[in-house]
Amino acid sequence: MSIPVVDPARYDQQLADKHERITQQFARFSPPELEVFASPPSHYRQRCEFRIWHEGKDLYYAMFEVDSENPKHKRIIRLDDYPVASRRINELMPRLREALLASDVLRYRLFQVEFLTTLSGAALVTLVYHRPLDAAWEEQAQRLQTKLDIAIIGRSRKQRLVLASDHVWERLEVDGRTLHYQQVENSFTQPNAEINRAMLAWARDVTRNSLDSDLVELYCGNGNFTVALAENFRQVLATEISRTSVASAQQNLVANDIANVTVGRMSAEEFSAALKGEKDGRRVREMALETYVFSTVLVDPPRAGLDESSCRQLSDYSRIVYISCNPNTLEHNLETLCRTHRITRFALFDQFPWTHHCECGVLLEKKSA
């Protein structure tokens, strides 16, 4: 891994390079013109984690960079600030370090610090230790929490101490609406909040005029897309395997006053079997699959993409919205999906500036017989 070098003056060029790369990579599928959504060039990432490196009486934030001349060797890079991270994280970094340096209790065997922030400045900080946490730690951490106006969680082996809250609430303005999202510590959330807003607006745009049909969403996470798309459809059925994410998705539906969504805790593979009538049980019966008329499926899979069986399942839907964090697995999946569907919208979201990573959005519509 190499640490991103942030140079705002070069941002337009790095985005243009990604535009050209993605355009060439997917040209054989004859997509429409690529829609490109730019990120803020710096301070765009709302969550980050750092190792804490101890040198005598000193300590500092650190990341590891692979030595290009010797890939087995990693160099320790000291970070006093981190332009990739949100301004709130950068404001907290020196203040937290000073507090740790001043407290033997808080710094002793501290291994890692994780920051989770929001656009409005709320912050949750997790301190990870290689030792049990006791009453003395909790007392000093409580004082630090008040001093820095943050929520603190302490972690060590088989121990998790939540001093105030285990989540923050993000508020995103999308299409003139304010969407509320509970974001839980140690659970997946979209790291680039401004690009997330762009993705939600794009997904809403490509699924308009769907109120006479239903949406099924696989890999729904904490309901990021579910919340934004619910009003476009008659009903939504969303599935997710993570218990924490399902609980958070339920909270987000309540927070946004959404009543036409059901979230089922089930893997994409299990759901596929349920649709075929090959799986039964309480969770399947609670979904009441017979009440849905699915026209659209949304998938936001992990970097590994979809397996061949899942791609074949998607081919049954009239419309597919595919959000991808890995263009290479997206390209592979499109080899199957484009046998039955054609690409009618194609987007590049610069979720991870200054890296080679790209987030893509694809709308596929079924070819006429």
Instruction: Encode the chain (369 residues) as per-residue pLDDT tens digits.
Output: 578 889 999 999 999 999 999 999 999 999 999 999 999 999 999 999 999 999 999 999 999 988 777 777 888 999 999 999 999 999 999 999 999 999 999 999 999 999 999 999 999 999 999 999 999 999 999 999 999 999 999 999 999 999 999 999 999 999 999 999 999 998 888 999 999 999 999 999 999 988 889 999 988 999 999 999 999 999 999 999 889 899 999 999 999 999 999 998 887 777 777 776 666 777 777 777 778 888 999 999 888 888 888 888 888 899 999 999 999 999 999 999 999 999 999 999 999 999 999 999 999 999 986
Neighbour-count burial for 165-178, b at 16+ CB within 10 Å, e otherwise: ebbbebebebeeee
Q: 10 Å Cβ neighbour count for 243?
A: 9
- Is 224 annotated to bind a ligand? Reply is yes
- Residues 189 and 172: beta-carbon distance below 8 Å: no
Neighbour-count burial for 1-17, b at 16+ CB within 10 Å, e otherwise: eeeeebeeeebeebbee
- Is 108 annotated to bind a ligand? Reply is no
Specify the pTM: 0.93
Of the listed 48, 325, 358, 360, which one is catalytic? 325
Enumerate the β-bridge partners of residue 257: none
Say whether 358 is catalytic: no
Of the listed 170, 270, 359, 360, which one is catalytic? 359
* Euclidean distance between CA atoms 297 and 320, whole angstroms: 5
Enumerate the β-bridge partners of residue 76: 64
Which region, left, alpha or beta, applies to residue 348 given φ > 0 means left and ψ of -120 to 50 means alpha?
A: beta
DSSP letter string over 154-221?
EEETTEEEESS-SEEEEEEEETTEEEEEEEETTS---SBHHHHHHHHHHHHHHT-SEEEEEEEEES-T
Q: Which amino acid is at 59?
A: L
Q: Which residues contact 68 (CB under 8 A, 6 or more apart)?
A: none
* Euclidean distance between CA atoms 330 and 322, whole angstroms: 8
User: Which DSSP symbol is given to 351?
Assistant: S
| pLDDT at position 292 | 83
| pLDDT at position 279 | 67
Q: Which residues contact 185 (CB under 8 A, 6 or more apart)?
A: 114, 116, 124, 126, 153, 166, 167
User: Which DSSP symbol is given to 303?
Assistant: T
User: Which DSSP symbol is given to 27?
Assistant: G
- Is 240 annotated to bind a ligand? Reply is yes
- Is 190 annotated to bind a ligand? Reply is yes
- Is 260 annotated to bind a ligand? Reply is no
* Euclidean distance between CA atoms 67 and 305, whole angstroms: 29
